[in-house]
Amino acid sequence: MGRHKEEKKKPFTFVDLFAGIGGFHQAMRYLNGTCVLASEIDPDCQNTYRVNFPDTLLEGDIAAIEPLNVEPYDVLCAGFPCQPFSKAGYQLGFQDPTKGNMFFHVMSFIHANHNLKFIILENVRNLADKKENWEIVKAELKKENFLITEEPIILSPHEFGIPQVRERVYILGIRKDIADEKKLQYPCIRLKDLHLEDYYKECKPDAALSILEPSESVSDDYLVPDDIVEVLDAWEEFRIGTNLKKIGAPVWICAFGLGIEENYIFYYRSGYWRMPKWKQRFYEKNRALYTANREFIDKWVKKYHMTGRSKIHQKFEWNLGMDDVTMKDTIIQIRQSGIRCKRTNYYPALVAMVNTPIVWDDNKNAYRFTTPREAANMQSFHGRYHLVGDDKTIYRQLGNSVNVRVLKILGERLFGLEATKND
C-alpha cells in the first residue's frame, strides 16, 4: 500500500484567492478542507463557483478585501493571474501595470494572517523562466518566515497518468516553526521532500480516450461541420498519397511552389533568402515533398480547392512519426498554426482560447469535438461538478483553471511536512 493511502486527513481551513471556478477548492475539499473565503472578479466564474459551492463566502475584486477582516485560516491557495508571465501575453511580469501587482495582494493576505501554516500558489511555467520574477516571489515569501520551494517545481498532469500536457509552476510554503526538521533538512522545500514518486504514472497509449464520455451521451451538436470534415479527409488523402511520414516538418502549401519547375525561381519568388533558418528548413522540406509528388499534389490541390481555403486549413502537422495509423486514430487540433495530429496518450494543454480537440467517434462514425464535460475530465474535475454557461464560456473557464488531482497531491504532500506533536 502506498504512503499516500495510509495518512489520515486532518481538517483545516483555507482561502481561495483568484478562485476561478474552484479547482483549488475541489482539491482542498478532498483533503478535508473548509473554505472561509473565496475571491474571484470574473462574473461568469462567480456564477459557476456559487452553483458548486453555495455555502462559501465569495467576494469579488481582491483589492477591495481587507485581509485583516478575514477570519484566521490554515492554508492560502492562489492561482494569481498568469497573463503578465504567459508566453501568450507580453511577458511584462511584475512590470505589468494592470495585473503584475496581483501577487502583492496575495502577500497582503499572508502578512495579515499570523496563523497561516501553508501556502500553495500556481502559475504558468514562464513565471520561473525569468529569473527576476522568480527572485521577487522568493524574496517576498521569505520575508513572512516561510520555507518555500526555492527551485521551481514544474509539473504536468501527464506525469501522474492524467492525459493532458500542461506544465505549470507550483510554489509551496510551510511556516518555519511548524516544519518537521527530519523531513526538511534544508532551509527550503525540495522536490525530493514531497515524495511524488508515489504518484508518478505513465500515460498509456490510449489514455486520452479514457476521459471521453459514452458516445450515446454526447449530442450530435458536437459533430464536426461538413466543411471541416472535408478538410480533414483531404489531408488524410494527402497523407496516404505522399511520403509524408518522412518530412519531419509541418506541411505548408505556401511552401510548395505550386506550378514552379525550377527551384531557384521558387526560392527567389518566396523570399527564401530573407527567412530565418528554421523557416528556410521548412521551405526546403516542403519543396522537396512537392517536387517528389508533383503530379499527385497538383491534382489534390485542385480537387479540394486547397489554395482557396483558410490559411489555417492550408497547414498540416503530423506528430506521429512513422506510426502505422490513420487520422481517425489521432487527436486533432485546428490551431492558428494549422491542423495538428497527435498520439492518443495525452491531449495538448487545455487553454482558455477555444481550439477544442477533435476525436473520431466509432459509434457515431464521425469526427466530433470533445465536450465541455470531457474538458472538465482533463482537469480532473469531479463528475458531479456543474458546468455553467455556454460552451465557449465553459471551455475558457476550464482552460484558465487548475488540475484538481495535481493540486490534491501537492497539498497532501505539503501538509505531511508539518511536525507532529509527538516529535
pLDDT at 163 over 80: yes
Q: Calculate mean pLDDT across residues 361-372.
A: 96
Cα–Cα distance for residue pair 74/203, rounded to 1 Å: 34
Task: Reply yes or no on whether the pLDDT at 34 is more than 50.
Answer: yes
pLDDT at 146: 93
**Which class for 7: exposed (0-12), middle (13-18), buried (19 or more C-beta within 10 A)?**
exposed
Residue-wise DSSP of 201-256: BPPPTTGGGGGPPPGGGS-GGGBPPHHHHHHHHHHHHHHHHTTGGG--S-EEGGGT
pLDDT tens-digit readout, 170-193: 999 999 999 998 898 788 899 999
Angstrom distance (rounded) from CA 220 to CA 216: 9
Q: Measured in Å, how far apart are the chain's first and last C-alpha atoms?
A: 24
Distance CA 351, CA 396 (A): 7
Task: Point out the residues that are catalytic.
Answer: 82
Q: What is the pLDDT of residue 248?
A: 81
Q: What is the pLDDT of residue 350?
A: 80
Q: Is the pLDDT of residue 103 over 80?
A: yes
Query: Does the pLDDT at position 150 exceed 90?
Result: no
Alpha helices in 242-390 (DSSP H): 263-270, 277-292, 294-303, 372-378
The pLDDT of residue 422: 61
For residue 130, what is the DSSP state?
S
- Write down the pLDDT at residue 82: 53
Chain-centroid distance, C-alpha 22: 16
- Looking at residue 423, its pLDDT comes to 53
Over 80: is that where the pLDDT of 393 sits?
A: yes
pLDDT value for 7 = 56
pLDDT tens for 323-354 read 889 999 999 999 888 999 999 999 988 875 56
Task: Please write the tens of the pLDDT for every residue from 262-280.
Answer: 999 999 999 999 999 999 9
- Rounded Cα gap, residues 327 and 215, in angstroms: 19
Q: pLDDT value at position 92?
A: 47
The dotted CATH code for 3-204+401-415 is: 3.40.50.150
Residue 97 has pLDDT above 70, yes or no: no
Q: How do the domains of the chain map onto residue ranges? A: 3-204+401-415, 214-370
Given this model, what pLDDT does residue 245 score? 75
pLDDT of 320 > 80? The answer is yes
CB 177 within 8 A of CB 131: no
| Residue 93: predicted pLDDT | 46
Of residues 257 and 125, more confidence is placed in 257
One-letter identity of residue 132: E
Give percent above pLDDT 90 in the chain.
77
Confidence of residue 85 (pLDDT cuts 50, 70, 90): very low
The total of other beta-carbon atoms located within 10 Å of residue 262's CB is: 9
Higher pLDDT, 351 or 227: 227
Single-letter amino acid, residue 408: K
Overall average pLDDT of the 2-18 stretch: 76
Model confidence at 83: pLDDT above 60: no
Over range 23-42, report the average pLDDT. 97
Contact 339, 315 (CB under 8 A): yes
Q: In the prediction, which pLDDT does 311 show? A: 95
What pLDDT is recorded for position 8?
66
Q: Cell numbers 472535408 label which residue?
A: 230
Q: How far apart are CA 132 and CA 134, in angstroms?
A: 6
**Global pTM value:** 0.87
Phi and psi, residue 418, nearest 5°: -75, 140
Residue 265 makes CB contacts below 8 A (sequence gap 6+) with none
Split at pLDDT 50, 70, 90, the class of 109 is: very high
Residue 22 has pLDDT above 90, yes or no: yes
Amino acid 134: pLDDT: 85
pLDDT band at 295 (very low <50, low <70, confident <90, very high): very high
Q: Report the alpha-carbon distance of residue 229 to residue 367 in Å, rounded.
A: 7
Q: What is the mean pLDDT of the chain?
A: 90
